[in-house]
Chains A and B, each alone.
Chain A
């Protein structure tokens, strides 16, 4: 198994593991809203300790919207991995896919950073929380770096494509 195949399989795995979240999340929230007294689902989201309030709903919707951005980025990355597997590295399609991946990841990371910042502001109780090791903040910062890297990669692929075209049209 070469590296391209391994890359594609890894992304496929991550993608299919996330599909149930995309499919079932809205239904779960709807179920909790319709039956507030239910005991089957244990919600692990902030502001839902004393029932599913408007704040918790807002948090869930925000989280889901940001998750959709990440999922869209992963979908584009999956398409890019497919193109790599077909050996179509220098094509307009690769430029387009890497640009979209970068845009979605960057938007997701920036949105999430603002989101956790606002969340920290609203839930501030006079204590500063310090996380040692890999925190949400550092992971989101890493996602932002990956997003920007993909935007740069897209630019590099566009330049490479132009050079390849020039090379192909050199007699």
Chain B
């Protein structure tokens, strides 16, 4: 997946645990784990909005694009 999720990094910067974030955002820990592990196929705007609000950050702080990953997958 060429989209990288930097949620772990942002959480560590905010000294917040995944459980806390899941509670604030209103999603299950299992779903948050799917997002963090990069297994998610899509993210709802409402979820992204809630995460950004909880972590006081921009979507770009959480999501990043890496062309090398997509190249490796193509191989």
Contacts and interface: CB of A to CB of B under 8 A. Distances in A.
A89 to B, nearest CB: 20
Question: What is the interface of chain A mostly: helix, strand, loop, or mixed?
Answer: mixed
Interface stretch (B9-17, B32-40, B53-61, B66-74): B32-40
Contacts of A171: 27, 31-32, 34-35, 40, 42-44, 47
A162 to B, nearest CB: 10
Interface residues of B, number: 12
Nearest to B35: A171
Contacts, number: 23
Closest 4 CB pairs of A and B: A169-B41, A170-B42, A171-B35, A166-B41
Interface residues on A, range: under 10
Contact of A169 (B27, B32, B42, B47): B42
A169 B44 contact: no
A166 B31 CA distance: 13
Interface in A112-161: none
Contacts of A166: 41-42
A165 B40 CA distance: 10
Contacts of B43: 170-171
A165 to B, nearest CB: 8
Given A170-B43, A171-B31, 6 more contacts: A166-B41, A169-B34, A169-B42, A170-B41, A170-B44, A171-B43
A38 B63 CA distance: 83
Interface in B17-33: 27, 31-32
A171 B41 CA distance: 8
Max chain A Cβ within 10 angstroms of own Cβ: one of B35, B41, B47: B41
